[in-house]
Amino acid sequence: MMNTQIDNGAPKKVRWLWLTGGVIFAGALWFIPFLVLPPGPQPFILGLAQVVACGLILGVGRQGIDVLMLRLLIATLGVSLGLVLTELSDGQTLCRGAQDCLQYGVLLVGFGGAVLAILMAFVAVPTTIVWRRGFGGLGPELGWPIPKAAWQWVGLSLGVVVGFYVVIFLMGIPWPA
């Protein structure tokens, strides 16, 4: 018989459904206003309510800080999807080529999603601490590889620097001379 229990006795499937369902619900909270409100700027109070509601939804659950941050980032894709669908419904073209699409995607998903995830983290992290009754449950859950040797740190650093310059090159951002 397969063991489906984890340390607190809750089945793994229930936890997986809980965490996934929360991400889908939070993403929908970001996406739905694009469907029901006319195109244009949203009221500030609606954005603030979305940040708080999504932070509370994603903060509830047994999760480490790494899983929480991944859930926050994935939930912000609802905003990106809403903006894209709004522009398409208005008959506008999203981009005029591959480089333009890449720039739009990096700015919208990368930068915008990261900023939104950080804002939601101000609500989600305290919610998780209260839900778990302390800081002990915020330890990382996923098996992130941690460099141990000097050559591993050098390789990681070079990979980050090269990745940074590749994104700049692909986006066509001029570099100051």
Domain co-membership, 108 together with 175: no
Q: Which two tokens stand for residue 109?
A: 């998903």
Q: Is 59 in contact with 123 (CB distance < 8 Å)?
A: yes
In whole angstroms, give the CA distance from residue 110 to residue 28.
19
Place of tokens 């509601």: 53
The domain in which residue 48 lies consists of 12-144
Q: Is residue 112 part of a domain?
A: yes
**Which pLDDT score is estimated for 11?**
66
Q: Is residue 6 part of a domain?
A: no
In whole angstroms, give the CA distance from residue 47 to residue 50.
5
Q: Which two tokens stand for residue 122?
A: 């101000």
Nearest to 33 by CA among 23, 43, 24: 43
pLDDT at 4 over 70: no
Average pLDDT for the chain: 78
Q: Is residue 78 part of a domain?
A: yes
pTM for this one? 0.69
pLDDT at 10 over 60: no
Q: Which residues pair with 5 in a beta bridge?
A: 11
Q: Is residue 132 part of a domain?
A: yes
Domain co-membership, 17 together with 72: yes
Give the CA radius of gyration of the chain. 20
* 3 state SS of 76: coil
In whole angstroms, give the CA distance from residue 73 to residue 102.
18
Domain co-membership, 154 together with 136: no
Domain co-membership, 130 together with 120: yes
Residues 6+ positions from 8 with CB-CB distance below 8 Å: 62
Domain co-membership, 73 together with 137: yes
pLDDT in tens, 165-176: 887 777 776 655
Give the mean pLDDT of 152-169.
86
Domain co-membership, 79 together with 154: no
Pick the more confident residue, 17 or 28: 28
Give the mean pLDDT of 139-165.
84
